[in-house]
Chain A
Amino acid sequence: MIDIFGKPQNVLVLGGSSEIAIEVLRAFNITNRIMNLYLAGRDLPRLNQLADEFRSENTNCEVIHADHDESSFRLIEHIENIEIDIAIMASGYLPPQDQQFKPDEVKKVINRNLLAVAEVGSVVIEKFINQNFGVLIIFSSVAAMRPRPDNFLYGASKAGLDNWARGAMFKLKNTGAKVLLVRTGMVDTRMSRHLERAPMTVDKKFVANKIVKNIKGTNQILWIPLKIKFLVFFLKIIPNKLLNYVVK
Chain B
Amino acid sequence: MKSRISGWGLNNFSYTNLITFEKTNKRNYQLFNSGSNFIPRGLGRSYGDAAQLTGGDTVLSGDTTGYILDEENGILNVSAGADFDFLIRELVPRGWFLPVVPGTRYITVGGAIAADIHGKNHHRDGSFGNFIYSFELLTPNGKISCSAFDNTELFFATIGGMGLTGLILSAKIELIKIETSLIKGEIIKFKNINDLLIGFKDYDEKYKYSVAWVDLLAKGNSLGRGILSLGNHAKTSDLNSKSASDIFYYRANQKISIPFYLPTGTLNSLTTNIFNKLWYLKDKKQSKKLFSIPSFFHPLDGIKNWNKIYGKQGFLQYQFVVPDTRSEFLIEVIKKCSNQKIPIFLAVLKKMGASNGGLLSFGKPGWTLTLDIPMRTPNLENFLNDLDEDVVANEGRIYLAKDSLLNPTKFNAMYSNSEKFRALRTKGSFNNFIQSDLSRRLSI
Contact = CB atoms under 8 A, between A and B. Distances in A.
A1 B54 contact: yes
Contact of B15 (A33, A34, A175): A175
A81 interface: no
Contacts of B12: 3-4
Given A34-B407, A132-B15, A132-B16, A176 B441 contact: no
Nearest to B13: A176
B27 interface: no
B278 interface: no
Interface in A8-63: 33-34, 58
Given A132-B2, A176-B4, A4 B316 contact: yes
A133 B14 contact: yes
B442 to A, nearest CB: 10
Interface in B43-67: 48, 54-55
B381 A131 contact: no
B408 A176 contact: no
B437 interface: yes
A130 interface: yes
A132 B381 CA distance: 25
B405 A4 contact: yes
Given A34-B408, A132-B2, A132-B15, A176 B54 contact: yes
Interface in B378-409: 380-381, 404-405, 407-409
Contacts of A131: 54-55
Interface string B224-251: 0000000000000000000000000000
A34 B409 contact: yes
A4 to B, nearest CB: 5
Interface string B207-222: 0000000000000000
A35 to B, nearest CB: 10
Nearest to B11: A4
A6 to B, nearest CB: 9
Contacts of A4: 11-12, 48, 316, 375, 404-405
Nearest to A32: B385
Interface in B9-52: 11-16, 48
B285 interface: no
A3 B54 contact: no
A73 interface: no
Contacts of B440: 1
B198 interface: no
Nearest to A6: B381
A132 B405 contact: no
A5 B377 CA distance: 12
Contact of A132 (B55, B407, B441): B55
Given A3-B441, A7-B381, A133-B54, 11 more contacts: A4-B375, A5-B405, A33-B407, A132-B2, A132-B14, A174-B1, A175-B2, A175-B15, A176-B4, A176-B13, A176-B14
Sort A-B residue pairs by CB-CB distance and give the 9 closest, nearest first.
A176-B15, A132-B55, A132-B15, A5-B381, A131-B55, A4-B11, A4-B12, A4-B404, A132-B54
